[in-house]
A and B are shown apart, each in its own frame.
Chain A
């Protein structure tokens, strides 16, 4: 029972992280019909940006964890918002008219460049870096299961973010503009919406979310690794696909579904938990074979 609770907690945490990444993928796909494959590496870059800002802030003499946490979170999300917009401006928008494969390749390679840059240029980047503990470490014991406060706080913060983003999309003018562009770029443009601005803002928002997930990842595992973005990116993409590209709720669903698949895999194959990824991806492939455009489904239309 306690083990189950542990698995569930772990699954929920992972699910939230995946969902945050998946939302980014789905937003980018919605506005531009592109898959931004450097997204996972933006997550990692965000975590490292947070780590770097921590080092700076500690050097500057700030000792209490709350301002440290705020600095890390802000540094990560703001820097990645900028990076996301830059990537959109430099890699994605210029390739708008090119075949879809080109954007995929460009962003895949861009992600590689980002990942390698961290490995090569961040001091000690090729080794896993210790991520500081910035959240209170108290926990409640329920039997042998320890319900940790920091996990709850991260879950709460993540949930707030998701709700806030959902509200922005549904209730604000920016959200309306994003949804308009996602539905029909040409019409949105003729209605006076600044297409480029909306696209770049979307990239910024999605990347900021990824950065948050990166910081979450660092806090949860107490370390960050330059290469973790690759797998997380692919997982996030799979999650977005599972839920149906372009669908916000689909991305949420997909994120938690993938985490659930991983958890089931880990439970079912306790002798080789490394196989859990194989299991989860295998399940994704099977699901995609059954429903090629996702469980909720993408709006695929081609004029003949």
Chain B
């Protein structure tokens, strides 16, 4: 770093973080055997620990230009899609991880920003999916269907708003827990929405272009999931940009005040109810859109996929990544979605594994694996 001119350093630092991450991801995704996957994982963990201990990682993170990093990772993602162009399993995995990340971003706005816990994340994901299933058959263009998925999820969430605002802490948690538990029951019993078998969906179609079809682009054959992957990537970038902007603005400051000290916030004119409603609704909308696209990608939706247990997995991702840490969130999403797929042996044990990990984090490192950084100033004059 010392040899590079100061102007280039932020971009270099970004590249220095992005390159090994993408390599590790590539190795992880292409590994065939369980041993290979474990080796890649172990190697990555060791590398991160080494970088941490030596202080190199901290220095890189401080210097790196955030925008350059996101661009680098986005380009890398495109490269990965190209690299795995005919591997539907990897593309599906990548898409799923990205869509789970978007859903977790919604949860992040609710819990990490506004302090509103949502134990029904999977349920709202399902609401988005069911909306896409019902509206997708009709004449509404599919991009609008996606927006509708978000809107319906937000609307369903608003049913919980009044009880959520009247209650505090664990009472409020109970409300989303109850909702998460009942969602599956409701859809299982409801024959008009497919009952326990669920509903089938056609693929995402825009302007006559069906995402499910395999296609050739620039001489390369792409499996159908590649386009879902692109769409998921686009959605992720939009969501990340949105959350980032939100946090680095007066809106983020107000949300922090609501989360950290409601009484003081009220004494300075902040309407607790208004901000919690906004965060909860926005978060659910994000979750719903992700759910809609996910359902169209997978081709069917059933109540069994949206259990309370799955909602807990989403919350686990937030906690494992470090509450308030977007980079950690991305890594955690990838691992939580990808690891059970890659290491089939742990597929059965995944709930046990994640719950134990979260308990360990909560008890041993309650501030999260990575401490939340103080907001960087968003004025034009840097200190």
Do any CB atoms of chain A lie under 8 A from CB atoms of chain B in the complex? yes
Q: Are B189 and A275 in contact (CB under 8 A)?
A: yes
Please measure, in the bound complex, the distance between the C-alpha atom of A238 and the C-alpha atom of B171, giving whole angstroms.
Answer: 9
Q: Which of B163, B186, B189, B352 contacts A117 (CB 8 A)?
A: B352
Q: How far is the CB of B172 from chain A (nearest CB, A)?
A: 9
Cβ 8 A contact of A293, one of B119, B171, B355: B171
Closest residue of chain A to B170 (Cβ to Cβ) is: A35
Q: Which residues of A are found within 8 Å of B173, using beta-carbon distances? A: 35, 101, 104
Of the candidates B160, B169, B352, the one whose C-beta lies within 8 Å of that of A100 is B169
Interface assignment of A230: CB less than 8 Å from any CB of chain B = yes
How far, in whole Å, are A101 and B263 apart by their CA atoms in the complex?
18
- Stretch among B97-105, B231-239, B285-293, B309-317 lining the A interface: B309-317
Partner of A284, one of B178, B263, B352: B178
What is the chain B residue whose CB lies nearest that of A113?
Answer: B355
Q: Which residues of A contact B179 (CB under 8 A)?
A: 281
Closest to A108 in B: B312
Complex: A237 Cα to B234 Cα, angstroms: 42
The residue that B178 contacts in the complex, of A234, A272, A289, with Cβ under 8 A, is: A234
> B189 to chain A: closest CB distance in Å?
5
Q: Are B189 and A105 in contact (CB under 8 A)?
A: no
Instruction: Mark each residue of chain A from 220 to 251: 1 if its CB lies under 8 Å from any CB of chain B, else 0.
Output: 00000000001100100110010000000000
Within 8 A of B (CB), among A235-271: 237-238, 241
State the majority secondary structure of interface residues on A. Answer: helix
B355 touches A116 (CB 8 A): yes
Residue total for B at the interface (Cβ-Cβ under 8 A): 42
Residues of chain B within 8 A (CB-CB) of A293 are: 171
B163 touches A289 (CB 8 A): yes
A101 CB to nearest B CB, Å: 6
Stretch of B53-61, B210-218, B356-364 at the chain-chain interface: B356-364
Query: Residue A109 at the B interface, CB < 8 A?
Result: yes
Q: How far is the CB of B267 from chain A (nearest CB, A)?
A: 9
A109 and B166 contact, Cβ closer than 8 Å, known pairs A116-B355, A230-B308: no
Chain B 161-192, CB-CB to A under 8 Å as 1, else 0, gives: 01100111111011101110110011011000
> Which of A104-121 touch B at CB < 8 Å?
104-106, 108-110, 112-113, 116-117, 120
Task: Kindly state whether residue B117 has any CB partner on chain A within 8 Å.
Answer: yes
Stretch at the interface among A44-52, A87-95, A128-136: A87-95
Taken together as a complex, chains A and B put the C-alpha atoms of A35 and B172 apart, in Å, by 12
Interface range on chain A: under 10, 10 to 19, 20 to 34, or 35 or more? 35 or more
Asked whether, in the complex, the Cβ of B319 is within 8 Å of the Cβ of A274, the reply is no
Do A288 and B358 have beta carbons less than 8 Å apart?
A: no
Query: Which of A104, A105, A277, A284 has a CB less than 8 Å from the CB of B185?
Result: A277
Query: B168 contacts A292, CB within 8 Å?
Result: yes
Is A278's CB within 8 Å of the partner chain B? yes
The answer to whether A100 and B309 touch across the interface, beta carbons within 8 angstroms, is: no
Q: Which residue of A lies closest to B182 (CB)?
A: A278
The answer to whether the Cβ of A285 comes within 8 Å of any Cβ in the partner chain is yes
| Whole-angstrom CA separation of A35 from B312 in the bound complex | 17
A26 to chain B, nearest CB (A): 13
Cross-chain contact of B358 among A109, A272, A286, A289 (Cβ < 8 A): A109
Any B CB within 8 A of the CB of A3: no
Docked pose: A35 CA to B168 CA in angstroms: 13
The answer on a CB contact under 8 Å between A95 and B363 is yes
Contact B181 A231 (CB under 8 A): yes
Is the pair B185, A274 in contact by a Cβ cutoff of 8 Å?
yes
Cα distance A272–B186 in the bound complex, in angstroms: 10
Contact indicator per residue, chain B 218-236, by CB within 8 Å of chain A (1) or not (0): 0000000000000000000
Chosen A-B contacts, 10 in total, with CB atoms closer than 8 Å, are A35-B173, A95-B363, A109-B312, A112-B355, A120-B348, A231-B181, A241-B171, A277-B185, A278-B182, A285-B160
Which 9 pairs of residues, A with B, have the shortest CB-CB distance? A116-B352, A112-B355, A109-B355, A289-B163, A281-B178, A113-B355, A106-B362, A274-B189, A109-B358
Beyond A94-B363, A98-B366, list 18 extra A-B contacts (CB 8 Å).
A35-B173, A95-B362, A95-B366, A101-B169, A104-B117, A105-B315, A109-B354, A109-B355, A116-B349, A116-B351, A234-B178, A238-B178, A275-B185, A281-B178, A284-B178, A285-B163, A285-B178, A292-B166
Residue ranges of B at the interface with A (Cβ–Cβ < 8 Å)? 117, 119, 160, 162-163, 166-171, 173-175, 177-179, 181-182, 185-186, 188-189, 263, 308-309, 312, 315-316, 319, 348-349, 351-352, 354-356, 358-359, 362-363, 366
